[in-house]
Amino acid sequence: MTTNRKSGMKHNLAPLLMDVAVPIGSYYLLRNGFGMSTLAALGWSSVVPALRTGWGVVRDRTVNGFAALILFVNVVGLLLSFVAGDPRLMLAKDSGVSSAIGIGILVSVAMGRPMMTAAMKPWLVKGDAAREAAWAGLLSGSSRFRRAERVFSLVWGVVLLGECVVRVVGAYTLPVDTMVWLGSVIMIVAMVLGFLVSGALAAGPMAGMLAAEVEARKGGSRVSLSPAVAPEVALVR
């Protein structure tokens, strides 16, 4: 059971690591570790998401959401790296990454394929086969579960766009020296807010629905979940 759980967690985390951790980590490694320019670091760190996106289109005829988003963000970063001169504009352009990610997430919600699910699912499923089966069952049979899934991505999209707006306003209204350190504070506050709100509105209720579904499946009887969990879901023997 432990082996299966580890295998399941690895299966769920692998795409997240490949699509997000590798390109972002390689950017900072190339830029800060090897002293490459921002332009070169962004270019080389775009190789993995570009290959992942292209392979997904060729093999499955679908676009790998996270890989495409990271590629898009890198392209935006490449374009913004040509902006120079005005220190306030240099500060404002740092919010371009947040806005690109936020827009990408909101577009994925509108298309019915919420992108942040890939980041949330491993922590809720925890590599457990029973939870994986419960997730699949709820995703196909519970409108409340699917709504919470969309809300999770929606919250993060709004938070990241909000961070972008706040940082742009600050860049043009506050002293430059203040925004140099305040920009990082704004980012941290936005991340904490995103975790708290998305957890309360989506991840928490989804975890409760998953636990109830797993227990009901263990019982092996036809049960209707309580209104606090998922009133529309009838679990089949």
Q: Which long-range contacts (CB under 8 A, 24 or more apart) does 60-69 make?
A: 64/15, 64/19, 65/108, 65/113, 65/115, 65/118, 66/15, 66/16, 66/19, 66/20, 66/115, 66/118, 67/18, 67/19, 68/104, 69/100, 69/101, 69/104, 69/105, 69/115
Question: CA-to-CA distance for 137 and 106, rounded, in angstroms?
Answer: 25
Residue 67's pLDDT is 63
**Domain spans of the chain, in order of start:** 124-237
pLDDT score at 26? 76
pLDDT value of residue 176: 74
pLDDT of 234: 42
Q: Look at the chain and count its residues.
A: 237
| pLDDT tens, residue order, the chain (237 aa) | 555 555 554 554 555 566 566 766 777 788 778 887 766 776 677 777 677 667 666 676 665 566 666 666 667 666 766 665 566 776 676 677 778 788 888 998 998 889 888 888 888 988 788 899 999 999 998 999 999 999 999 999 999 999 989 988 988 898 877 886 787 788 888 889 999 999 999 999 999 999 999 998 887 644 444 444 444 444 433
pLDDT score of 222: 42
Specify the pLDDT at position 78. 64
Backbone angles phi, psi at 84, to 5 degrees: -150, 170
Q: What pLDDT score was predicted for residue 191?
A: 87
Q: Quote the pTM value.
A: 0.67
